[in-house]
Amino acid sequence: MTSGSQHQLRIQSWMTAAPLVRVLRALDAGSVDVRFVGGAVRNTVMGLDVGEIDLATPDVPARVIERLAGAGLKAVPTGLEHGTVMAITDGATFEITTLRRDTACDGRHAAVEFTADWHEDARRRDFTMNALSLRPDGTLFDDHGGFDDAKAGRVRFVGDAGDRIQEDYLRILRLFRFFAWYGRVPLEPATLAACRAHASGLSRLSAERIQQELVKLLSAPSPVEAITLMAACGILQQVLPGGFDVASFARLVTLEAQTGSGARDWLRRLAALLPSGESGSVADRLKLSNVDRDRLKALTQAGPFLDDHTDPLHLRRALFHLGAAPVTDRILLAWSQRQDVPSPAPWRALLAASAAWTPKTLPVSGDDVLALGVAAGPAVGRLLAAAAEWWIGAGFEPDRAQTLAHLRHLVDQSAGADNKDGSGGGPEPLAL
Ligand code: ATP
Ligand code: MG
């Protein structure tokens, strides 16, 4: 077994921030071989910003808690069965995990044993770029060629892809997630073949784990290649059982970048990826929250009602009723569904109008309708909708007095119509 190679990295500013230094002292990093692991090390090697900072130590969790408490730091046992303790100091949090070896893996969970051997800990990690560890003095330990792989943007399993996938099927999704974020060279054919061979194993994962990975994947700057490969390997079929439309998804990601409109909205990207009208089975499969489920439904259901032939009145109406963000969503989704390449100018004009929109309030309310003598009931809503339609048509210009006058006119008209044919009068509320 290789003992791996070492590199000397320059000390980074995140490594010397006061809260982290406090934690390192508490863990006695001078004499115990405490190291940074995971994303912080990978991103440092790649020259990218560092987000959360994870540490690992040969000390067992009880000892970690004892040390933190001894130094007056708060310790929260967030995942003791996995050997993880969270240290909190000055509002900053750090996960500290005891070195582990996986003893049994059933495709979902691993039984773990603690170890003091850094090589064993590296061996159980998923990708070579994620299996690096870094001492606070800048010594980087690289057992599996992760340093070169990180620099090259090569996402590669530690060990045999098929074996590692069968230990934990989530690693298939993690592969495409890390490829979407950090991949700069193609995935190896053997890796893709292993994903294809074990795609059905994804059915054993919980919805929460799948959702978490998919959200991170869809939030990558450019996830199109990863999604395309997932479709080619039969992975996407497992995650999106109701089908998918990779071409529209690809167009949406391009349009986000070209128009600079709120890029990287994972739910909007998911909506683009689904065939129109489809959202229920995905919401179930991923156990989306009610808020996400409702938004996804709205995004996939309505069809391309806003397009490059939309007249200004219709756009104003949509903005008034829905607000700017949903209208922008619908413009982008409708545009991305176009297989021809339409002239961008009308679409850009729609987006600009949406971006410039400020919310407006109709200057009359249901109380005004009641005050005009209309009995409580569906007629109130109809009359209000008719007044709103008139006000929108007039470019939101009429003030309260003018709108009230028009409302009175509508009430009179509707009373007259009621007398004639009992139809209740006024247009139906507009369907958007
Ligand atoms: P991010 O910046 O997105 O948090 P990360 O690399 O820190 O990236 P995490 O999901 O936080 O990713 O995992 C931390 C580390 O734990 C990984 O870098 C990897 O070494 C290891 N790891 C996490 N999940 C697995 C897994 N399913 N199988 C093997 N190793 C894993
Ligand atoms: Mg992390």
Could you give the percent of the chain with pLDDT greater than 70?
95
In a domain, 9, yes or no: yes
Count of C-beta atoms within a 10 Å radius of residue 427? 11
Q: What is the pLDDT of residue 419?
A: 59
Nearest protein Cα to ligand 1, atom 22: 125
Same domain? 131 vs 179? no
| pLDDT given for residue 422 in this prediction | 45
Q: Residue 170: CB within 6 Å of ligand 1?
A: yes
Residue 209, Cβ density class (10 Å: 0-12 exposed, 13-18 middle, ≥19 buried): middle
| Residue 43 in domain | yes
Q: How many angstroms does the Cα of residue 127 sit away from the middle of ligand 1?
A: 9
Distance (Å, whole) CA 40 – CA 50: 5
Q: Given this model, what pLDDT does residue 362 score?
A: 97
| Atom nearest to 168 CA in ligand 1 | 27
Answer yes or no: is pLDDT of 430 > 90: no
pLDDT tens digit sequence for 398-425 = 999 999 999 999 999 988 776 554 444 4
Q: Kindly state whether residue 429 falls inside one of the protein's structural domains.
A: no
Q: What is the mean pLDDT of residues 340-360?
A: 94
Report angle CA 195, 125, 36 to the nearest 5 degrees: 140
The 10s digit of each residue's pLDDT in 52-64 is: 999 999 999 999 9
Task: Give yes or no for a contact between 105 and 95, defined as CB atoms under 8 angstroms apart.
Answer: no
Q: Which tens digits make up the pLDDT trace of 86-140?
A: 999 999 999 999 999 988 888 888 888 999 999 999 999 999 999 999 999 999 9
Nearest to 379 by CA among 362, 321, 403, 387: 387
pLDDT > 90 in the chain, percent = 83
Q: Which ligand is nearest to the CA of 177?
A: 1
Calculate mean pLDDT across residues 191-207. Answer: 97
What pLDDT, on the 0 to 100 scale, is given for residue 264?
A: 84
For residue 37, report the distance from its CA to the centre of ligand 2, in Å.
9
Q: Which of 324, 345, 328, 206 is nearest to 271 (CA)?
A: 328
- Return d(Cα 177, Cα 45) in angstroms, integer: 18
Q: Which domain holds residue 273?
A: 240-359
pLDDT for res 2: 52
Q: Whose CA is nearest to atom 5 of ligand 1?
A: 39
Calculate mean pLDDT across residues 202-222: 95
- Kindly state the tokens that stand for 419: 């007398």
- Say yes or no: CB of residue 121 within 6 Å of ligand 1: no
Do 247 and 148 share a structural domain?
no
For the cut 80, the answer to whether the pLDDT of residue 323 exceeds it is: yes
* In a shared domain, residues 36 and 132: yes
Helix H segments across 124-223? 146-152, 161-167, 170-182, 189-197, 207-218
- CATH number for 107: 3.30.460.10
Q: Ligand 2: distance of its center to the CA of 53 in Å? A: 7
Residue 188 shares a structural domain with residue 204:
yes
Task: Give residue-wise pLDDT tens across range 249-308.
Answer: 999 999 999 998 766 899 999 999 998 778 888 999 899 999 999 999 989 876 557 888
Where is the domain boundary, 122, 152, 182? 152
DSSP-assigned beta bridge partners for residue 36? 55, 134
Report d(CA 221, CA 235) in Å as an integer: 21
Contact 183, 153 (CB under 8 A): yes
- Pocket of ligand 1 contains residue 4 by CB under 6 Å: no
For 93, the 3-state DSSP assignment is: strand
Between CA 188 and CA 128 the distance in angstroms is 13
Q: Are residue 38 and residue 67 in the same domain, yes or no?
A: yes
Residues 300 and 270 in one domain: yes
Q: Examine the domain organization and report whether 298 and 196 are in the same domain.
A: no
The predicted-structure confidence for 365-400, as pLDDT tens digits, reads as follows: 999 999 999 999 999 999 999 999 999 999 999 999
Mean pLDDT of the chain: 93
431 within a domain of the structure (yes/no): no
Q: How high is the pLDDT of residue 302?
A: 60
Residues 6 or more apart in contact with residue 7 via CB below 8 angstroms: 139, 140, 142, 147
